[in-house]
Amino acid sequence: MKWQRWHAVAAAAALVAAGVASFANWGGSAPSADAGAVVEPPVPAPDGLLADIYVTSPNASWTRLQRGVGGAVGILPGTLPGVFVALADLDVVFVDEIDGASPMFGVLAGDPASPGAAFAMKLVDARRARLLLADGDTSRFGAKEADGMTRLVPKNQDARDRRFELAITQNGYLLVARAAADLERLGPYATRTLPSRPLPTEAAVSVDIPKSALQAVIKPRLESLWDDGKSFLLTQDERMRAERGRAPDFGDPIAIVAALDAALGRRVAILGDLEKLRLSLEITEDAAVLTAALTPLGADGPARRWVDGMKLGDAAPVLALPSVSALALSLRDGEVDRDEQGEELEKAITTSLGPRLKDPGKLHAVIQAMTKARGESVALALGLDDPTGLFVRAPVRDPASADEAIRGAFDLTKAEPFKELLGVREVIASSDELPDLGKIAVATVARVPDHAKRAADTAARARAAPTKWPAAARAASGMRRARPGSWIGQIASLWRRARRS
C-alpha cells in the first residue's frame, strides 16, 4: 500500500493528524520531568466517556506523514505543535515551548454528534510557558486560577471568536478544550489518568473506545439511525405505490429492507458485545496502516463467535489485484460463513423479486454451486479508469461446481426477470488462449443501450397503466402529432418557430 497508490488512506491520516490541532478528536501528553510540574493522582473517567486517544510520537509521525502525502499537507508546519500553534493563532515562538517528542493524550465524552473534547501536550517548561502567555508585559492572555490549572483568558479578544479554551496545568501540560466546561470536566482525566497508564507502542495513534461507549452510546445511536432510515424507505415505498397504483417493476422494497434489517442487526449486536475497540494508525516511511482490534466481552456472545470464526491468512489475494485499482478488498470466510452467506443471498433475491422470479430452482442451483466451488478467500477490485469495472479473483476448490455456477449465472441473465432487470440484449459464449493460463472460456454480455432501455420501460409502463388524458390535453397532443400539410400542422409549425425565435 504505497503512498502513491493510496492517497485516500494517507489523506485520512492527515485529517486525523489535523484533528489533533482542532481538538475534536485527539489529546495528550506524557509524564516527563519538569521543574515546575506537580505530581497529581489519577481521577475517574468522566461521565459519557467516548474515547481515549494516545499519540505516541507526535513529531516523528507527522514528519513521515508529510513526506508520504505531500501536497497541501507538505506545506503545513513541520511539527505537530507547529500545526496547533498556527490553528490556535498563537505566537510562532511558542512552538518551542511544546515538547513534540513526548506522547500526547486526549479524551472525547458526551454526545457523539458534538462531543466534549480535551487535548493535552507536554510543555518543556510550564513556568516559562506561563510567563510567555499570561504573565509577560505583552502577553495576550490573562491568568484565571482554577482547580489544578491556570486558565488563559484573552485580554482583547471577543469570547465569541475564540476557537479553543486554553489552560496550563500544575503537572506541566498545555490543555486545550472545545469549551470552558471541558477544561475542568475532561482536563484532569487527560493530564493525570491517561499518562499513568501503559502507553500503546504498536502504532503512532491509538483510539480506545470503551465498553460503556459501545453499549450505551454507539450501539443505540446506530440502531436509531437505521430505524429512521428503515421508516423513511418504507414510507417512500408506500407513497410511490399509492401514486402509481401498482407494485414496483423490480424488487419488493419491504423484502429488501427486511433482509438489510437482519444483516445490520447482527453487525450491531456484535458491536455491542465488545469489551473494547481499539483503532490504531501506524505511519511508516512508505505506508499508512489502520488496524481495528476487537476484544469480545464474553466467552459465548455474538462477538466471540464472530471473532473465533474468522479465517486468518496472508495478503497475497489482494496484492495480486491490479495496482491501478481505486479500491481493493479481500475477504476470508469459513465453511459455515460461506453457507450462511449463500442462504442470505438467495433469500434476499427471491423475496425481493417475489412472483417475478418464475423459476427459483435455477437461482438456488447457481448459488449452491457457487458456494461449493469457492475457497475461503475472495478478492475484489474496483476500477474507475477506462475501462471501468469490477474485477473478482477467487481460488476454486471444485472446478466442476465453478463451471456449473458460471454457466448457470450467465443462463440466468438470458431469462426474465434478470434479462430485463440487467438490460441484457444477448450473451455470447467463446473461448480464448491467454499466456500462463491456457485456454479459457469467455462469456460476453451485450447490454441494451440506456436510451433504448428507458424507451422500452416507458412503453411497458404505458401499456400496463394507460394514462387518461383530459379532452384539452388530447387536443394539444393531436396538434403536436398533426401532419405538416394540415392547417393544424401549419399553426403548430408557426408556434414552434415563434418559440425558437
Residue type at 246 in one-letter notation: R
Predicted confidence (pLDDT) per residue in 326-361, tens digit:
888 888 888 888 888 888 888 888 887 878 888 889
Cell output for 87: 490553528
Nearest partner of 372 among 403, 347, 411, 418, judged by Cα: 403
Start-to-end Cα distance in the chain = 59
Average pLDDT over residues 175-189: 92
Residue 482 DSSP class: -
pLDDT above 60 (res 201): yes
Cell output for 96: 518551542
Identify the pLDDT of residue 319: 85
Identify the pLDDT of residue 494: 46
Alpha-carbon dihedral 461, 467, 472, 476, rounded to 10 degrees: 20
Cell output for 322: 491490479
Average pLDDT over residues 472-486: 39
pLDDT above 50 (res 487): no
pLDDT above 50 (res 426): yes
The mean of the pLDDT values for the chain is 79
Cell output for 197: 497508564
Omega before 220 within 30 of 0, i.e. cis: no
pLDDT above 50 (res 492): no
Nearest partner of 205 among 23, 77, 67, 17, judged by Cα: 17
Cell output for 488: 393544424
Whole-prediction pTM: 0.69
Residue 269 phi/psi, 5-degree rounding, is -65, -40
Contact 32, 121 (CB under 8 A): no
Question: How far is the CA of 226 from the CAs of 229, 238, 256, 264, in angstroms?
Answer: 5, 18, 14, 8
| Helix/strand/coil for 323 | coil
Sign (positive/negative) of CA torsion 260, 263, 265, 268?
A: negative
> Highest-confidence range of 30-39, 117-126, 373-382, 407-416, by mean pLDDT?
117-126
Predicted confidence (pLDDT) per residue in 221-262, tens digit:
899 999 999 899 889 888 888 888 777 766 678 878 887 888
Predicted confidence (pLDDT) per residue in 82-96, tens digit:
888 887 778 888 888
What are the extents of the domains in the chain? Answer: 7-199, 476-501
Residues of the chain with pLDDT > 70, as a percent, come to 80
pLDDT-derived band at 423 (thresholds 50, 70, 90) equals confident
Identify the pLDDT of residue 482: 39
Predicted confidence (pLDDT) per residue in 358-403, tens digit:
888 999 999 999 999 988 888 999 888 776 788 888 888 888 998 8
